[in-house]
Amino acid sequence: MVMNNTFYIETMGCQMNKLDSELVAGQLQNLGYQPADNPTQAAVIIFNTCSVRQHAEDKVISKIGQFRRRHQQQKDLILAVIGCMAQRLGQDLLDSHQQVDIVCGPGQIHQLSKMIADIQNQRQRLLNLNDPAENENLENLDTSRQHHDSPLPFMAYVRVMRGCNNFCSYCIVPYVRGREHSRPIEHIVDECRQLTENGVKEITLLGQTVNSYKYQDNNQTFTLADVMKKIHDLPGLARIRFVTNYPRNFDERILHAMADLPKVCEYLHIPAQSGSDRILKAMNRHYTAAQYADLIQKARDIVPNITIAGDFIVGYCNEDDQDFNDTKALVQKIRYKNCFIFKYSPRPGTRADDKLADNVPDPIKRRRNTELLELQNQIACEDNQQLIGKSVEILVEGPSKKPHLNIPQNQLNLDDPVLQLTGRTPGDQIVVFNGTRKLIGQIINTKIEKASALTLFATYESP
């Protein structure tokens, strides 16, 4: 049965979208709406979309298509598309899909509840795209957040900045998220304090280029390192993370904060995108592979136990075999904990789509993607073997998505049954182990028994 005050949000893409969805959910719940378990039970269905790759947009179009008949039959159903794809396509989404009632850019999500109410009061279709002058209203949405019914109530994202100034030639983000805007540091600290008072133990500071955070107040300039110092001693806070970083002009004070502040996790996600200087220049990345490698070495010198994650695009415009070999060489040199590897996907409106030919055949893109993934998995598997026998600290997140491994059959029906649980180390390694639900949300020690490229398998070490 569908009730008029129910909503369902499906989120695609990055951590920033996940945070936006949480803010929208809190906004709606404050107005009396209740979350539905699935879209068939919801009167308001919201797709929070990503536009970084064509596959992400194709997925949304397919999902929208599934609601055409239901939208015709259920006249009070409201279907909203928000986020980066909504900003990029705008009116075209309304023109092409009659079942879409609302198209709302990421900079206008503070108005979504009013848009829903307007449609309920007088049936109409609404378009609301980003306005750079709306930063103050977005700030009000961030500061008024409620950590409602999160599946991981002890973990939270906190936005420190919005937008991006880098304009990498392949990237749509500056066009759909706008230019960089750093939030007032006192607002960030107050938000973190509210979250920790409500039981949050791990906070991840978010920004499209989080290391570019810079806020001026009374002739004083605050950086990301200052944010971490100011929230470090909040009671109840156990861990601080930050994503995603950009390699150019990286502030070394961030690394020293990581080394000096015990709660800052020794983990750095810093995309390289290519190991070829020729391709990096075409991508408008403003650094060389050698400069990137020097930065990673500096990070390891300052924070000896740091783990590194990266991003790579294969099959970029004019990428040849030598360019790809340079990328493989960089992956071998850095030895990442993990990498997010993608085939190049042209994004309309970007410089690459306008000026450069997407001239690497798709079979070559697929081959390079597979080859780089295999190389990265080999490296990660080799490095993870060195953790076998060691004790590692993890924050237990909840049941594993594959809760079938090594569960003793004679313990499955107890009042507090043994489950396969999963958690993460400060270095962001995924650890699975057998334990009971009472461990969820706790920081515990586990001993690594075996390892694969992406997962560490452990036993719980009782205190």
Q: Determine the pLDDT at residue 47.
A: 97
Closest among 126, 92, 133, 94 to 112, alpha carbons compared = 126
Q: Percent of the chain, pLDDT > 90?
A: 83
Q: How far apart are CA 285 and CA 148, in angstroms?
A: 38
Q: How far apart are CA 144 and CA 166, in angstroms?
A: 30
Grade residue 122 by pLDDT with cuts at 50, 70 and 90: confident
Query: Higher-confidence residue: 272 or 139?
Result: 272
- Per residue in 301-348, pLDDT tens? 999 999 999 999 999 999 999 999 999 999 999 999 999 999 999 999
- Per residue in 176-235, pLDDT tens? 999 999 999 999 999 999 999 999 999 999 999 999 999 999 899 999 999 999 999 999
CB atoms within 10 A of CB 221: 9
Eight-class DSSP state of 437: G
Closest among 185, 180, 144 to 165, alpha carbons compared = 180
Please state whether beta strands 202-206 and 239-243 pair in parallel, antiparallel, or not at all (unpaired). Answer: parallel
Domains, the chain, with CATH or none? 6-133 (3.40.50.12160), 135-385 (3.80.30.20), 391-461 (no CATH)
How far is CA 4 from its chain centroid? 31
Enter the pTM of the model. 0.93
Phi then psi dihedrals of residue 392, to 5 deg: -130, 145
* pLDDT(131) > 80: no
Mean pLDDT, the chain, whole residue set = 92
| 244: preceding bond cis by omega (within 30 degrees) | yes
Q: CA 343, 346, 270: angle at the middle one, nearest 5?
A: 55
Q: How far apart are CA 157 and CA 94, in angstroms?
A: 31
Query: Higher-confidence residue: 385 or 140?
Result: 385
CB atoms within 10 A of CB 462: 7
Q: How far apart are CA 51 and CA 176, in angstroms?
A: 9
- Per residue in 356-375, pLDDT tens? 999 999 999 999 999 999 99
Q: Determine the pLDDT at residue 121.
A: 85
Q: Determine the pLDDT at residue 102.
A: 96
- Per residue in 390-415, pLDDT tens? 999 999 999 988 755 555 544 544 55
Closest among 370, 269, 377, 381 to 324, alpha carbons compared = 370
Residue 291 contacts residue 297 (beta carbons within 8 Å): no
Least confident of 13-17, 118-122, 451-455: 118-122
CB atoms within 10 A of CB 39: 22
How far is CA 242 from its chain centroid? 10
Q: How far apart are CA 106 and CA 90, in angstroms?
A: 12
